[in-house]
């Protein structure tokens, strides 16, 4: 897709498509090649996937979760017997947390 490696006999419409694809790949590389922007991208993808694939069980205040000082982790028991867990460092970036056993999700408000 690199513009410098285009063949001379490629139709104009296809050249435009290839250039557009190159631009998309370049933008993705810039996002995923930087640790900070990759983290933001991964968190957004995780949240998008959770809302599309799993049912929202409840909205929970962070203060209502159990705080484990040793592990620096907030946890809440799920009705299935599993747990919802979120680390202290994730609390600013993550609003949806899935159960470690079933498909239920809680939203941290």
Q: 46 by DSSP, 3-state: which? A: helix
Q: 């484990």: which residue's tokens? A: 68
* Structure-token pair, residue 27: 């933008």
Helix axis angle for 35-53 and 12-32, nearest 10°, is 100
Q: 């017997």: which residue's tokens? A: 81
Q: 């592990």: which residue's tokens? A: 71
For the stretch 61-104, pLDDT in tens is: 999 999 999 999 999 999 889 999 999 888 887 788 888 888 88
For the stretch 16-65, pLDDT in tens is: 888 888 888 888 888 888 888 888 887 777 777 666 666 778 899 999 99
Determine the Cα–Cα distance for residues 72 and 64; give it in Å rounded to an integer.
Answer: 15
Q: Read off the pLDDT band of 1 (50, 70, 90).
A: low
For residue 69, the model assigns a pLDDT of 93
For residue 2, the model assigns a pLDDT of 62
């Amino acid at each position: 897709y690199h513009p410098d490696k285009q063949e001379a006999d490629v139709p104009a419409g296809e050249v435009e498509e290839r250039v557009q694809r190159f631009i998309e790949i370049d933008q993705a590389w810039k996002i995923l090649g930087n640790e900070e922007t990759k983290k933001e991208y991964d968190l957004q993808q995780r949240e998008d996937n959770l809302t599309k694939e799993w049912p929202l069980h409840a909205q929970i205040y962070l203060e209502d979760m159990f705080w484990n000082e040793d592990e620096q982790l907030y946890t809440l028991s799920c009705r299935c017997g599993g747990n919802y867990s979120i680390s202290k460092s994730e609390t600013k970036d993550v609003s949806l947390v899935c159960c470690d056993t079933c498909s239920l999700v809680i939203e941290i408000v």
